[in-house]
């Protein structure tokens, strides 16, 4: 099982850089079929051709996204969900199992936890259950760790994000996804307190591409292990080109100027 986990991790984390570019496509449950998540095969093909290490989605989508052609890409099955229509949208519930992911040929599973929510206890229990079950099967777990609740005035505060990352690590996750704290110094403190790879979320749609590239570059400079960014990639004018640029930043240490020049030259 230890070998199985190592093999699967290499499908979502580059074996040379130990970093990753993951594109989540799980937004359909939370907010519906938004732009970029209608032509699933087209979207997956674009991000795969751009060099993404993996895509992330709910268990019902692989039947819509398996292409049978093009460049290969890793698969992460998301196990938790809630909708924006709920009176408690931050209360995530398990809607799939590790065994479901195995049957779909997944390389990893993911679980979303919102610390500070009234249902935090249940979400923590779910994460603990999934990491234990995943260990039985040699399945890597990505934990999406956020702070959202009445006692959380700023979910991007460095100490809050640091706490989120540490909870995911201590409950057994193999990769931690957190919000970016806004600068290299503060994010480096998040990374240094976590012994497993830490990747950044994209957050709300960013209209300025250079701001997105800089956020990714700064997170890598701080010691981060890459990104797990959805709508800022799949809703881009050219997702394949953007993924190529971000992959160069993550895996080849391009700076912001190099990435933006590449994007302009390819436009």
The DSSP code sequence of 144-164 is: EEEE-STT-S-TT-HHHHHHH
pLDDT of residue 144: 98
pLDDT for residue 1: 61
The per-residue pLDDT for 205 is: 79
Cα distance between residue 159 and residue 185, in whole Å = 12
Task: Tell me the average pLDDT of the chain.
Answer: 96
Q: How far apart are CA 108 and CA 141, in angstroms?
A: 6
Pick 68 or 6 by higher pLDDT. 6
Question: What fold, for 3-265?
Answer: TIM Barrel (3.20.20)
Q: How many CA atoms lie within 13 A of 90 on its CB side?
A: 16
Distance CA 65, CA 45 (A): 9
pLDDT at position 265, please? 87
Q: Torsions phi, psi of 80, nearest 5?
A: -125, 155
Return the pLDDT at 185: 98
The pTM (predicted TM-score) of the whole model is 0.96
Residues noted as catalytic: 146, 177
pLDDT of residue 252: 98
Distance CA 197, CA 174 (A): 7
Three-state DSSP class for residue 239: helix
Tens of pLDDT along 206-247?
889 999 999 999 999 999 999 999 999 999 999 999 999 999
Question: Which of 54, 15, 67, 24 is closest to 230 using CA atoms?
Answer: 24
Over residues 84-137, the pLDDT tens digits come to 999 999 999 999 999 999 999 999 999 999 999 999 999 999 999 999 999 999
Domain ranges, ordered by start, for the chain: 3-265
């Amino acid at each position: 099982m230890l070998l199985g986990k190592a093999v699967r991790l290499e499908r979502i984390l580059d074996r040379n850089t130990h970093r990753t570019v993951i594109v989540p496509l799980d937004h359909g449950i939370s907010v519906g079929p938004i732009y970029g998540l209608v032509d699933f095969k087209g979207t997956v093909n674009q991000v795969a051709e751009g060099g993404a290490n993996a895509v992330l989605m709910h268990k019902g989508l692989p039947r819509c996204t398996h292409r049978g052609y093009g460049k290969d890409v890793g698969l992460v099955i998301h196990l938790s969900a809630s909708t924006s229509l709920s009176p408690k949208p931050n209360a995530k519930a398990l809607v799939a199992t590790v065994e479901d992911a195995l049957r779909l040929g997944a390389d990893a599973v993911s679980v979303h936890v919102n610390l500070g929510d009234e249902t935090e206890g249940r979400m923590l229990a779910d994460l603990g259950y999934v990491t234990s079950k995943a260990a039985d099967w040699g399945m890597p777990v990505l934990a999406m760790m956020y702070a959202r609740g009445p006692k959380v005035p700023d979910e991007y505060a460095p100490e809050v994000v640091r706490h989120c990352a540490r909870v995911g690590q201590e409950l057994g996750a193999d990769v931690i996804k957190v919000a970016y704290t806004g600068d290299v110094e503060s994010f480096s403190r998040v990374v240094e307190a976590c012994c497993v790879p830490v990747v950044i979320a994209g957050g709300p749609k960013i209209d300025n591409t250079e701001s997105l590239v800089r956020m990714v570059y700064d997170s890598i400079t701080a010691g981060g292990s890459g990104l797990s960014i959805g709508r800022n990639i799949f809703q881009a004018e050219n997702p394949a080109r953007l993924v190529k640029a971000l992959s160069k930043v993550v895996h080849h240490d391009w700076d912001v100027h190099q990435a933006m020049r590449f994007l302009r030259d390819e436009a």
